[in-house]
Amino acid sequence: MLVNCIKLACLFTILYVVFASLVWYAPHAVPRNEWKKSYPPYAGDKPDNILWFVQVSDIHISKFLDPKRGPDFAKFCSETLGTIHPELVLVTGDLTDAKEKDRIGSQQYLKEWETYNKILRETNVTQMFPWLDIRGNHDAFDVMSRKDPDNYYMKYSGDKGTLSSSTYIVKKSFGKYSFIAVDATMTPGPRRPFNFIGHVSRENLDKLYQQGKSSVHHNLTVWFSHYPTSLVSSASAIGLNSLLGQFGDVYLSGHLHDFQGLAPKMYAMHSNGFLELELADWMGNRKFRVVAIDHDLLSFTDVTFDSWPVIVVTNPKPAKFMTPKHEPIERMRSSTHIRFLLFSSVKIFVDDVSVTIDGLNIGPIKQIKGPLWTCKWDPKLYSKGMHKLVVSVLKKNGESVSQTSHFSLDDEWSTDFTLSGRIAILTNFCATSQMLFLYVTLSTLTILAVLKRYGVGLASDCQMLRNWLFKVQLLVSDNLTFYVIFLFVLNLLVGPLFVGELLTGKIGVCFTNGLLINGKLYSEYTLFVYGTITILLFYLPDILYLAYCADLCWRQQISFLDSIRPLNKKTIIHLLFLLHLILHYVWCRELSKAYGWVACLLSPSRLWWVVSVVLLLVRTWWIKPQSSRRGS
């Protein structure tokens, strides 16, 4: 029966993944009657109805690592932004690194903030452009509140919590464009690693709702935050995603870097119609983003620092980024010219620029004003299907740099976002991590209880699984062993994981449901991941090893000394357990470095567990319960 239950659990897991795929990752289509109306003016060869801005994220100015990070950023502020000359600059969090030299501990370093502030002052960048830099989780490590003297953001950032504390509006002769910051950093901000998920309070959500509502009649609204929406929890049933579905046109974020190269392009369209674009980090990848709004159509390109020229095709915009609910996309059909922005550190001549559609050259090409270039075209020739547009620039060294986009002027187009990007952006991390933890924990408790009460036979199929289940049954036949293991697993659900110095001078209690600081519980969904890892990588291997030893000693009547000689499979398993004990040591050491030695001593989920495992191991080899004969 138990084996069949495990099979059903696996089937349930598969069905859940399929369901999540259909709900979260399904292509989004807006009915035509919900499209935003398209009125003149239409894109032509005039330098009108266009603006552009720059986003950079995860700078991580550090006093310990990468001494070129700061100087490169200074060059970016002075030379790169001086060449692009954006309408404004969005810096979406993690301005400083705030990690200690061992990369485990964390605190705010005044030197890092002074370095960041010095770059802003010496390049005069905040005087040249509106500079909206918001906090990331690294900027909140070990910060009790906004008024905390160690909250250097309020003193040394370019924004200082002023420009991004309310809607920033760019007013042009052709319309108004809103920029709304979502500060989702934890307050208080514990030290790492349990300060990874963003959280929007009910009060902040109400404020964001009013900001969104007041900007609903503006031409376009850009929301920006450090955290992708997949990593933001909410204190209200009306969460951030619902809010963005009502008022959001595009949402810009950082935080995930590029997943160690696994997801370099994290873009996705949400089911309620807004576009989300995560930007890779400045820290290791030196990435930044140029975003253009041309006749209320938003286009962008992600750029590597010191890579010139920078090309942004603004009309027609790429098909997969179209948001017809928020943009007048039918303006492309009535446009007379292809339009693109071309930024370069050296002068570019017309003869060095070419435009092709489906491999055929289009022309003539003109530089209208500044970085705006145009090329006359007839949209009727491309009214059906997808088409490939390529803008190429020939550099002096003979190298050709090109920007490719696929556009569509009809009612249907594909949103071929990368799978890794969609998973990172559209997966509800908070709900998934909680569900996975409960699933793993309750399954473990259920299996232990069923084996203790009913046992399992050794006949029939799935012999290997039944053999291991029988070994565990043999182990839990000892009452003391069963209750110790059961209570430790149960503690992950209801008890404290550890008690430690979550902030400097602030002792708090860590539960899987959150962090208890100053008598208040703060959600941190990374703790569910921690709990799941604890069971899968630590508890289960230890339980299986104890069961293996119980089977050797209690059923096969083999002593410990006999099991280690001669060198055989049994010896290798013992050695693997010793290696696993080293992993336990590293696990405890990291906790101590992160939250102090008290956290290690008062940690049921780490130190107390490994001590109990060692004691149970001694008991297993020295005591043979009478009940162990059952089922043997």
CATH number, domain containing residue 328:
3.60.21.10
> Could you tell me if 255 and 4 are in contact, meaning their C-beta atoms sit under 8 angstroms apart?
no
Alpha helices in 170-259 (DSSP H): 202-214, 240-247
Same domain, 451 and 353: no
pLDDT at 173: 94
Answer yes or no: do 512 and 527 share one domain.
yes
Same-domain status, 60 and 152: yes
Residues 189 and 106 in one domain: yes
Q: Measured on CA atoms in the order 338, 342, 347, 348, is the torsion positive or negative?
A: negative
Q: Which tokens in the block code for residue 108?
A: 């705010």
Residue the block writes with tokens 């690693």: 193
CA distances from 323 to 29, 229, 415 (A): 9, 18, 11
Are 217 and 357 within one domain? yes
User: Does a structural domain hold residue 287?
Assistant: yes
What pLDDT is stored for residue 10 in this prediction?
Answer: 58
User: 166 and 91 share a domain?
Assistant: yes
Amino acid residing at 622: W
Q: Please tell me the predicted confidence (pLDDT) of residue 23.
A: 54
Same domain, 268 and 287: yes
By three-state DSSP, how is residue 41 classified? coil
E runs forming strands in 57-101? 89-92
Does a structural domain hold residue 14? no
Where helices occur in 352-428 by DSSP H, the ranges are 419-426
Whether residue 44 lies inside any domain: the answer is no
Residues 78, 150: one domain? yes
Q: What are phi and psi of 261, to 5 degrees?
A: 85, -5
Cα–Cα distance between 255 and 430 in angstroms, integer?
Answer: 16
Residues 394 and 460 in one domain: no
The residue among 405, 426, 447 that closes a domain is 426
Let me know the angle formed at the C-alpha of 522 by 519 and 524, rounded to the nearest 5 degrees. Answer: 145
- pLDDT reported for residue 335: 96
| Tokens, residue 125 | 């960048």
Cα separation, 515 vs 367, whole angstroms: 57
Of 129, 143, 128, 125, residue with least CA distance to 183: 143
Pairing of strands 50-56, 89-92: parallel
Q: Which two tokens stand for residue 383?
A: 């009214």
* Residue 4 resides in a domain: no
Q: Residue 365: in which H helix or E strand, if any?
A: strand 365-369
pLDDT on residue 6: 54
Whether 616 and 474 share a structural domain? yes
What range does the domain containing 591 cover? 429-629
Does the residue 369 lie in any domain?
yes
CA separation, residue 214 to residues 217, 242, 476 (Å): 7, 16, 62
Domain C-terminal end among 403, 426, 449? 426
Within its chain, how far is the Cα of 253 from the centroid?
9
Question: Within this chain, do residues 202 and 289 fall inside the same structural domain, yes or no?
Answer: yes
Cβ neighbours of residue 287 closer than 8 Å, sequence gap 6 or more: 56, 57, 258, 279, 280, 281, 302, 303, 304, 305
Q: Are residue 440 and residue 406 in the same domain, yes or no?
A: no
Is 22 a member of any domain?
Answer: no
Q: Is residue 40 part of a domain?
A: no
The strand ranges marked E within 236-336 are 250-253, 267-269, 275-278, 287-294, 297-304, 310-315
What separation in angstroms does the CA of 506 have from each of 268, 497, 518, 589?
A: 40, 17, 8, 20
Q: Out of 426, 460, 491, pick the residue that ends a domain.
A: 426
For residue 39, tell me if it sits in a domain.
no
Count of the separate structural domains present in the chain: 2
Residue type for 161, please?
G
Specify the pLDDT at position 312. 98
pTM of structure: 0.92
pLDDT along the chain (632 residues), means of 10: 54 57 61 86 95 98 94 97 97 96 93 97 95 96 90 92 86 96 94 94 92 94 96 81 90 92 88 91 96 97 96 95 92 96 94 95 92 96 94 90 94 79 88 92 94 70 76 92 96 96 95 94 94 96 95 85 79 93 94 95 96 94 58 42
> What separation in angstroms does the CA of 111 have from each of 62, 148, 505?
9, 17, 21
The C-alpha atoms of residue 593 and residue 599 are separated, in whole angstroms, by: 9
